[in-house]
Chain A
């Protein structure tokens, strides 16, 4: 019996029980769709991050924070509880190290930003405008207004998504406006709300992607002197160190010098290290989520096995007839495996389409709800997740999903098919 005939025979029996085949297929569809959606989303996520780094991101900038923690982003939280802290004077000390071109400090705080009826909770960054724009010359650029070298105390520069949160021209604030910044001081039991009115002097050009470190579309920037005055602190959350070049030897030697300067009580991160850490976290999450989705495939496989065992029982007599007509055991086996493979293939194809649709939908609407509108997840660490992801369906994922779908079906179809092939003709024919 040739392959085409086997296939068409298998297909004719699937066609006979459409609803059952459809429901069995649905299991595979869901499993594959879940895996494809997760993989294409996280792949899009990975590409968004990598491109952020590659897009002129300052590879020659090190971030110094206190504490041993992973000073993610702008590292405010990790240094909050430490007794040791960095001050503006430390900036000068670091500047003295060989290989350092520039050293600048940041004092950041989570604040409420009000204009009209709207209030956003965002991170205010106290920076030295001149030094900061030198560090991030490709991203810390004013789209409108200016970047004053000697700013007034009440100067504020807004990230693009703060000025225009919905990206539709309905502006929150623009150059020349006055906006109120409020923050909480005092103890948890007796909080005190303080206010300060700033004058918008500039709005940044849209940076895009999302920010791990460096300027972000969802932050505001004020002079560091003002920040230290109004927040009543002399501590800085982090010191950014620009190197003379981005070679690994320079990075290593400056890192070592900075660490010894502060008796190993600070952590020094390079963007490459951040990217590596981020990548490995993402990989772990990806693996975990794929594993979870894989469970649904397992369930689908058991469903296939179940249905096929029933199908073999129902068709015992048919199998007996086929054998009485001279069909070999292995042909019977192949017919049933073929049925499983068709279900798997069908499920995988639909699942891939469905999964990609799902990931596009989530990327378009799900993430927009989370952070896209500017008032979502804007954490204290400053990693504003106001980003757009385009899900990416790689050929590897497509081929992998197809293989996985078919393999699952065939694997779980193996036992029922084997049972069918081992039926004794005379007993099968007698089966009612």
Chain B
């Protein structure tokens, strides 16, 4: 590894315990992870292994029970709600079920994070169009998510995640709800983003065919990192 590459995300003995009724569920039991700028990491593991919990914590959507999540060296668990919100603006999240807002058009969905950040209308419009073009949806800007295929919706979601030039992209089973052909296309898009634009990517998947496109694969099992660098090209 080159010494001048910055660590973007680091977790230190990260633990998360949920209460399911009165039964504690140990979702994460001490995860140590380091992701560097320009990396493309795939996280694999069976359901219940804590993948999503880990991702939510890295994306500042959730707080750890114990341990630390460092984003750009800053401990996320020490931040207040406002600071967390600001941090999320520098993180691009892509979900399995797209999570687009149905009443808004594709372009309005992509525009939303830019609106939240407070960009001017002109800048927003311009950037939105570029983003949608970049994911190959330049023609479909005025369609509602309900009028789009799963693959198209996921591409809108990726465009939205990229809107604020995030430090890294977090993808939670991005291909989980689309057919394999579209999934391949999507992974191609992610690879080109990573290789050409240098976007750091952390992606959860249970599909090894998808995972193999990553530079690095991490396997989680029962809330712990079991092995790294399996199956990477």
Which A residues are closer than 8 A to B by beta carbons? 1-2, 5, 9, 12-13, 16, 317-318, 320-331, 424-426, 429
Q: Name 15 A/B residue pairs within 8 A (Cβ), A-sorted.
A: A5-B115, A9-B115, A13-B103, A317-B99, A321-B100, A322-B116, A323-B88, A325-B88, A326-B86, A326-B87, A326-B113, A328-B86, A329-B81, A329-B85, A425-B88
Residues B116 and A324 in contact, CB atoms below 8 Å apart: no
When chains A and B are docked, how far (Å) is the Cα of A322 from the Cα of B101? Answer: 9
Contacting A at CB under 8 A, from B44-84, are 56, 59, 61-62, 81-82
Residues A329 and B88 in contact, CB atoms below 8 Å apart: no
A5 — which chain B residues lie within 8 A by C-beta?
115
Q: Which residue of B lies closest to A9 (CB)?
A: B115
Q: Which residue of A lies closest to B161 (CB)?
A: A325
Q: B126: shortest Cβ distance to chain A, in Å? A: 16
Residues B95 and A1 in contact, CB atoms below 8 Å apart: no
A16 — which chain B residues lie within 8 A by C-beta?
103
Q: Please give 15 more A-B residue pairs, beta carbons under 8 A apart, in addition to A13-B103, A326-B90, A326-B113.
A: A12-B103, A320-B99, A321-B99, A324-B99, A325-B116, A326-B88, A326-B89, A326-B116, A326-B117, A327-B116, A328-B82, A328-B85, A328-B86, A425-B62, A426-B61
Q: Which residue of A lies closest to B92 (CB)?
A: A325
B194 at interface by CB-CB < 8 Å: no
Residues A321 and B82 in contact, CB atoms below 8 Å apart: no
From A2, A321, A329, A426, contact of B101 by CB (8 A): A321
Q: B164: shortest Cβ distance to chain A, in Å? A: 7
A320 — which chain B residues lie within 8 A by C-beta?
99
Residues B85 and A323 in contact, CB atoms below 8 Å apart: yes
Q: A4: shortest Cβ distance to chain B, in Å? A: 9
Residues B103 and A328 in contact, CB atoms below 8 Å apart: no
A424 — which chain B residues lie within 8 A by C-beta?
62
Residues B103 and A324 in contact, CB atoms below 8 Å apart: no
B112 at interface by CB-CB < 8 Å: yes
When chains A and B are docked, how far (Å) is the Cα of A330 from the Cα of B117? Answer: 14
When chains A and B are docked, how far (Å) is the Cα of A324 from the Cα of B170? Answer: 11
The 10 closest A-B CB pairs, nearest first, are A326-B89, A326-B88, A426-B62, A328-B85, A325-B113, A426-B61, A425-B61, A426-B56, A16-B103, A321-B99
Q: A423: shortest Cβ distance to chain B, in Å? A: 11
Q: B167: shortest Cβ distance to chain A, in Å? A: 12
Q: A364: shortest Cβ distance to chain B, in Å? A: 45
With A12-B104, A425-B61, A429-B99 given, is the CB distance from A324 to B88 under 8 Å? yes
A318 — which chain B residues lie within 8 A by C-beta?
101
When chains A and B are docked, how far (Å) is the Cα of A42 from the Cα of B88? Answer: 57
Q: Which residue of B lies closest to A13 (CB)?
A: B103
A329 — which chain B residues lie within 8 A by C-beta?
81-82, 85
When chains A and B are docked, how far (Å) is the Cα of A317 from the Cα of B90? Answer: 21
Residues B118 and A324 in contact, CB atoms below 8 Å apart: no
Of B56, B85, B101, chain A has the most CB atoms within 10 Å of the CB of B85
B93 at interface by CB-CB < 8 Å: yes
B104 — which chain A residues lie within 8 A by C-beta?
12
A12 — which chain B residues lie within 8 A by C-beta?
103-104
Q: A207: shortest Cβ distance to chain B, in Å? A: 63
Q: Which residue of A lies closest to B82 (CB)?
A: A328
